Amino acid sequence: MSATPVLPVRSAPTSDAGGPAPRRLTRRVARRAQASPMAYAFLVVVLLASIFPLWWSFVIGSKDATAINSGSVSLIPGGNFLANARTVVDSLPFWKAMVNSVIVSTVVALAVVLLSTLAGFAFAKLRFRGKEGMLVFVIATMAVPTQLGIVPLFIVMSKLGWIGSLGAVIVPSLVNAFGVFWMTQYLKEALPDELIEAARVDGATVFRTFWNVALPAARPGAAMLGLFTFIATWTNFFWPFIVLDPGNPTLPVALQQLQAEYYVDYSLVLAGVVLAALPLIVVFAVAGRQLVSGIMQGAVKG
């Protein structure tokens, strides 16, 4: 539940070049192929808007309370970030929250990738009775909102005695319909039927075919699914907020406590925001290119 990455439906691969170069290349078309200064100017503004809130939280997070309340605006960071960060870390179970977030996001991402690849392989490449119906069912459940199930899910978790434990966050997210659909679509295209046939002719078991043929072909799609699931789980708030207690939070739940505690002292609140955002910014720096192409691959063809 609730860790569904909001990725669009994959259908057709897109090319960066936008098709073959037109043959009748007039001068005007050639000029059109280059971005106008207007486009650059517009994108610079968009980029500044993307970066500014983050920069601002670092600026405020690095000042002391008196500097902020003086009322003067400055975009230059002060020297207090480490002191603020230490206060935040000391007053919250911050490291615990960090470790919890890593555990929850990693376990959920791995489980979703594994189970989705298994099911996606069966749906994309194997023949069995009831397949079409099952696949339609999987797709239909993607539209059901997470909120619908939280009351009974909470009742179940409290009957199991899991409230306050990470299991209550992890278990409902272990599967998601979107992941199955994504891997099904991916393997349909990425894995040629001839390879499956060849493996069968060679006498490989279905599992060997999965392990030696399907899994290597699935890797890029699976990596993408894992990345998006990781981010969705890391940033998820609603369900962890309901089932976890303040002593054992994930990062978003801990951050929310920060606001309740230091409502007036935004230097501390925003220092905490920066600390909590750092891991995902690192992920973004390393895998941002893949994230971009993952979204682009997923788009619906018109």
Partner 1 sequence: MRPRSPLRQRLSRLDAQVSPYAYVSPFFLLFAVVGLFPLGYTLWVSLHQWNLIGGQGAFVGLKNYTDVLGQPFFWNSLRNTLSIFLLSSVPQVVFAVLIAAALDAGLRAKTFWRMGVLLPYVIAPVAVVLIFNDLFGDRFGLVNQALGWVGLDPIAWHKDTLASHVAIASMVNFRWTGYNALIFLAAMQTIPRDYYEAALIDGAGRIRTFFSITIPQLRATIIFVVLTSTIGGLQIFDEPRLFDSAGQGGADRQWQTLTIFLYNIGWTQKNFGRAAAVAWLLFLIIIVFALVNFVVTRRIASRESR
Q: Which of 103, 190, 206, 223 binds partner 1 (CB under 8 A)?
A: 206
CB of 296 to partner 1, least distance (A): 4
Tokens in use for 181? Answer: 């659909």
Window 155-174: residues binding partner 1 (CB under 8 A) = 155-156, 171-172, 174
DSSP code string of 126-191: ---TTHHHHHHHHHHHTTS-GGGGHHHHHHHHHHHT-TTSHHHHHGGGS--HHHHHHHHHHHHHHS
213 binding partner 1? (CB under 8 A): no
Distance, in Å, from the CA atom of 219 to the CA atom of 223, rounded to the nearest integer, reads 6
> CB-wise, 82 or 281, nearer to partner 1?
281
Our finding on whether 215 is near partner 1 (CB under 8 A) is no
> Does residue 153 touch partner 1 according to CB under 8 A?
yes
Which of the ranges 87-95, 118-126, 190-198, 215-223 carries the binding residues for partner 1, by CB under 8 A? 118-126
Question: Counting contacts by CB under 8 A, is residue 278 touching partner 1?
Answer: no
CA dihedral defined by 110, 145, 293, 223, rounded to 10 degrees? 10
Task: For residues 65 and 63, give the distance between their C-alpha atoms in angstroms, rounded to a whole number.
Answer: 7
Under the binding rule (CB under 8 A), the answer on residue 40 touching partner 1 is: yes
What distances in angstroms separate CA 117 from CA 103, 191, 204, 263, 290, one per listed residue? 21, 12, 19, 45, 19
For residues 260 and 54, the answer to whether their CB atoms sit within 8 Å is no
Based on the shown chain and the rule CB under 8 A, indicate whether residue 131 belongs to the binding site for partner 1.
yes
Tell me which stretch binds partner 1 (CB under 8 A): 81-89, 150-158, 186-194, 216-224. 150-158
Smallest distance from partner 1 to CB 82, Å? 19
Minimal distance in Å, beta carbon 268 to partner 1?
11
Asked if 255 touches partner 1 (CB under 8 A), the answer is yes
Query: CA-CA distance, 35 to 107, in Å (whole number)?
Result: 43
How many residues form the binding site for partner 1 (CB under 8 A)? 117
H or E element at residue 247: none
Contact letters (x/-) for partner 1, 4-23, by CB under 8 A?
A: --x-xx--x-xxx-xx--x-
If one asks whether residue 76 binds partner 1 (CB under 8 A), the answer comes out as no
Q: Which is nearer to partner 1, 77 or 149 (CB)?
A: 149
Segment (H or E) for 24? none
Q: Does 180 interact with partner 1 (rule: CB under 8 A)?
A: yes
**Residue 203 has what DSSP assignment?**
T
Q: Enter the tokens of residue 158.
A: 């409290």
Name which of 90 and 202 has its Cβ closer to partner 1.
202
| C-alpha dihedral sign at 236, 238, 242, 243 | negative
What's the min distance (Å) between Cβ of 150 and partner 1? Answer: 7
